[in-house]
Structure 1
Amino acid sequence: MATNADTVSKPSVLLQDMEEVKKVFERFDTNGDGKISSEELAGVMKALGSDNSPDEISRMMDELDADKDGFINLQEFASFCKGDSSTDGGSKEIHEVFALYDQDHDGFISVTELHKILSRLGERCSVHDCENMIKSVDSDGDGSVSFEEFKKMMTNNKKPGA
């Protein structure tokens, strides 16, 4: 996830409820201690294919670590996820997430790419499971997910004006 020195992108359109937020938090908290360290954050970003510098990771941590204890707890993570959308309605964040999954940068998420990313994140799902996930979003039936299909899926539960 690209960041600048002033802000960290807030994926508010991506995480709709606390249960979803908790699942993502637990995926980041690899040692299960109830908090995300800068090393854990860096590891997840790397697994997603994002090559963040130590300075970028440090800026992310500074932005998210509200109580300045050096870790991100569930409450801080939830606040980040529920934060306000950027002025473009979250489109930038959706592009960033799409790019993480679109490993070959061809503008589509294939079954293979989805399986690869989910496996890197420790998800136990088969290629068949990934095919079904792709089919559920693939409105034109081409066997992959375009950015427009991905954006529609990611904003599907978002209420107008929210």
Structure 2
Amino acid sequence: MADIEQAKATFARFDANGDGKVTAEEFKHAMAEMGDAYVTGPVAEAVIKAKDTDSDGLMSFDEFWTALQKS
């Protein structure tokens, strides 16, 4: 099980504008900053879509946390 405080810190790195939701563009940008320049727009969109349980096109912390619990 992941540590929720560590998960919140990680999520904050992805949530560039601090609105509580991560867009595909924010995800792609954060991954590039962390050294993974191979995450393209379509890849980022697929990752967000896979975790987006409410189908709003964004990843909330709750969705992120749920995905961590499954891994």
Mapped partners of 2:52, 2:30: distance in 1: 17
| CA RMSD in angstroms, aligned pairs only | 1.3
- Matching residue of 2:19: 33
Structure 1 residue 74 corresponds to structure 2 residue 61: yes
User: Per-residue displacement from partner, 1:27-64 (whole Å, max 9, x unpaired)?
Assistant: 11111101111111010111122111222111101101
After TM superposition, where is structure 1 displaced by more than 3 Å over at least 4 residues in a row? none
Q: Greater relative contact order (Cα 8 A, min sep 6): structure 1 or 2? A: 2
Shift of 1:69: 0.3
CA distance in 2, matches of 1:38, 1:80: 16
* Structure 2: tracts of 5 or more residues without a match: none
Q: Identity, % of aligned pairs?
A: 31
CA apart distance, 1:70? 1.1
Q: Counterpart of 1:45?
A: 31
Taking the aligned partners of 2:13 and 2:26, their CA distance within structure 1 comes to: 10
Q: 1 or 2, which has the higher helix percentage?
A: 2
Per-residue CA shift, 1:107-137, capped at 9, x if unaligned? xxxxxxxxxxxxxxxxxxxxxxxxxxxxxxx
On the 8 A contact 2:23/2:57 being kept in 1, the answer is yes
Name which one, 1 or 2, has greater alpha-carbon Rg. 1
Q: CA deviation at 1:79?
A: 0.7
Looking at structure 1, the residues matched to 41 and 10 of structure 2 have their Cα atoms a distance apart, in angstroms, of: 22
Give unmatched runs, 5+ long, in structure 1.
1-11, 85-162
The residue type equivalent to 1:69 in the other structure is D
TM-score, normalised with respect to structure 1: 0.41
Pairing partner for 2:5 from 2, 8, 19 = 19
